[in-house]
A = this chain, B = another copy of it.
Amino acid sequence: MDQEFSSRVLENAVTELSRLPGIGRKTALRLALHLLRREEKDVTALGEALISLRKDICYCRQCHNISEDELCAICASPARDHRTLCVVENVKDVMSIENTGQYNGVYHVLGGLISPMDGIGPDSLEIASLVKRVAAGDIDEVILALSSTMEGDTTNFYIYRRLGDYDIRLTQLARGMSVGNEIEYTDEVTLGRSLLNRVPFGDSFKQ
């Protein structure tokens, strides 16, 4: 026999599971044996949820966030401020910002950051479509909400250069001490930024 397990069905399930990131054959076998002990309807629910995930989710044609329709729930909502645009790296960052409950504008998902080392240039990302949205003239403010890394800064600067000619407010996330952090344990660069970008006392209580 050319297979490791006596059962072809088990072999198949283990092979498919071990294609997931961070799951090797040992973990895949453990998961498969666990599933064998579960109710049939539970396992069917899992399998169908995964198939539906890939089949029923597409990307919003406007902001490139994941969506079940051509336009995502955020882009389609009349309750959101469509003149404020938040630029993020990926779908997870949309979730993180939504979870703060502090943002009511719309998004633009780049699908990555410029990283010449990894062969990711501006053309691999949704930057042209961002420029197009801004050029359409319906945007007042673009908020750059990218990671504070070299790739994030490079992408910020590239977008800044591309959007420089348009009459919009271009802002970026504040850098500073984490809430709940002690000064003693804050690194110097962050502490320096916190000082430079200091705000009037009481501003954060206002809203």
List residues of chain A with CB under 8 Å of any chain B CB: 4-10, 12-13, 15-17, 19-22, 27, 29-36, 38, 40, 42-57, 65-68, 72-74, 90-92, 94-95, 98-99
Contacts and interface: CB of A to CB of B under 8 A. Distances in A.
B8 A68 contact: yes
Contacts of A50: 13, 16-17, 35, 43, 46-47, 50
Contact of A16 (B21, B36, B45): B45
A13 to B, nearest CB: 4
A22 B30 CA distance: 10
A12 B68 contact: no
26 contacts: A6-B73, A6-B94, A6-B98, A7-B66, A8-B68, A9-B56, A9-B68, A12-B53, A13-B50, A16-B50, A17-B50, A19-B42, A20-B34, A21-B30, A21-B31, A22-B27, A33-B92, A35-B50, A35-B54, A36-B53, A36-B66, A40-B54, A43-B50, A47-B47, A47-B51, A50-B50
A21 B35 CA distance: 10
Nearest to A90: B33
A15 to B, nearest CB: 8
User: How many chain copies does the complex carry?
Assistant: 2
Label chain A's interface by main secondary structure: helix
A74 B7 CA distance: 11
A29 to B, nearest CB: 7
A11 to B, nearest CB: 10
Contacts of A15: 49
Contacts of A40: 54-55
Contact of A9 (B38, B46, B47, B52): B52
A109 to B, nearest CB: 12
Contact of A17 (B36, B46, B52, B55): B46
A76 B46 CA distance: 33
Nearest to A54: B43
A48 B47 contact: yes
